Amino acid sequence: MKPTSAITAGHAVLETVIGFMGIAWSEKGLIRLCLPERSREAIERRLFRHAGVSTSTDQPQWVVELIASIKAYAAGEDVDFSGVPVDLDGVDDFRLAIYDAARKLRFGETTTYGELAKRAGHAGLPRETGAALGANPVPLVIPCHRILAAGGKIGGFSAPGGSATKEKMLAMEGVRVGPPPAAQASFGF
């Protein structure tokens, strides 16, 4: 008989300083992370659009720690999510390689789609890399916001708010994207 405290899967909606976020997990690890929305209901709708999201809200210890880390990140702290277990069952080998390479990027570190493809062993496939990142089920833990288009341009972002959300997340990490401010704008008068 299994102990009643065994937790196999669940979900949580958390309120952070940047909005409501959601996570879902299986017995193997994180399966879904939803970036900020304005309401708890919007996050729940997004979470439950995906198969395999459990209605349970019981949290194993690693999830309690992950929630605290997400809240700390949202508050501007340097957080390392590389140790978070992720369940990527059903994801093809190309995407797994891209996600693994992206997970090696640290807080405030960026690269381009082309360079990430190369690091993942798939040089010459920047568009395919962008498509793989657009399908990322656990943004932030697999930090797809840290991947830029060629020439340091922001590139796309499939989360709510699109590229503006990506730019805000990068700014939280101290990364400025885009042209430098005009000389006159750099003074306070």
Question: Consecutive 10-residue runs of the chain (189 residues): their mean pLDDT?
Answer: 58 95 96 95 94 91 96 95 96 98 97 97 96 96 96 87 91 82 49
The span from the CA of 5 to the CA of 32, in Å, is 23
Q: For position 188, what pLDDT does the model report?
A: 47
The span from the CA of 179 to the CA of 101, in Å, is 27
Q: For position 134, what pLDDT does the model report?
A: 94
The span from the CA of 52 to the CA of 78, in Å, is 31
Which among 61, 52, 78, 75 has a CA at the least distance from the CA of 143? 78
State the pairing for strand pair 147-148/111-112.
Answer: parallel
Q: For position 151, what pLDDT does the model report?
A: 87
Active site residues: 144
Q: For position 4, what pLDDT does the model report?
A: 42
Q: For position 176, what pLDDT does the model report?
A: 87
Tokens of 186: 């750099």
State the pairing for strand pair 10-16/19-25.
Answer: antiparallel
Task: Look up the pTM and report it.
Answer: 0.88
Angstrom distances, CA of residue 17 to CA of 21, 23, 61, 148, 158: 10, 16, 23, 25, 21
Q: For position 2, what pLDDT does the model report?
A: 39
